Amino acid sequence: MARSSFEIIGSFVSAINSHNLTTIRSLMTDDHVFTDARGTKFFGADRMVENWRQFFNAYPQYWISIDTSLAYGDRVGLFGEAGGKWRVDGTIIPGSWKVSAGWLAEIEDGKVRSWTVCCDTTWTTPPNQRKAALLQHLAIVEV
């Protein structure tokens, strides 16, 4: 019996939460498309495995929590939160981040064909670097 879109996405989210790159790869189509919260698209499952590896390194203890999910055909919308920590210069710094988020997944032949993330991205900058980034931005705007 074919797995439902919800079951496939549940497995995908579980693999992300456990940082299991082998399972993440097995659940993506070869031509997988990932769209990040800034609208940048990344193409290909093998490339995304390396991107996930780098992401998990930069944001240790990354997790996704889904509160609501809706399916329409092969599309699944997910709503909840994501969070984790920051790694700076090889060191996991104190504190953690959490953000409300939404995801849109498209399923094809029992695998995740596309994964789109929608969330605020200010969490990507560790707290001790935000002031410097803001001052740099203001200097650029004033020029």
Averaged pLDDT in 10-residue chunks for the chain of 143 residues: 91 98 98 96 98 97 97 96 93 92 97 96 72 53 47
pLDDT of residue 122: 82
Question: And the tokens for 27?
Answer: 């659940």
Residue 28 tokens, joined: 């993506």
Distance CA 133, CA 141 (A): 12
pLDDT at 2: 81
Distances (CA, A) of 104 to 23, 58, 98, 110, 135: 19, 23, 19, 16, 34
Pair of tokens at residue 110: 């029992």
pLDDT of the residue at 124: 74
What is the reported pTM?
0.86
Q: What CATH number has the domain bearing residue 136? A: 3.10.450.50
- Strand order, beta sheet including 41-43: 41-43, 28-35, 111-119, 97-108, 75-84, 63-72
Which DSSP symbol is given to 33? E
Give the model's pLDDT for residue 136: 56
Looking at the structure of the chain, the number of domains it has is 1
Tell me, what amino acid is at 119?
Answer: C
Tell me the CA distances in angstroms from 117 to 3, 14, 78, 141, one per residue in order.
23, 16, 10, 28
**What is the β-pairing status of strands 75-84 and 87-88?**
unpaired
Residue 10, SS3 per DSSP: helix
* Residue numbers of the domain that contains 58: 5-142
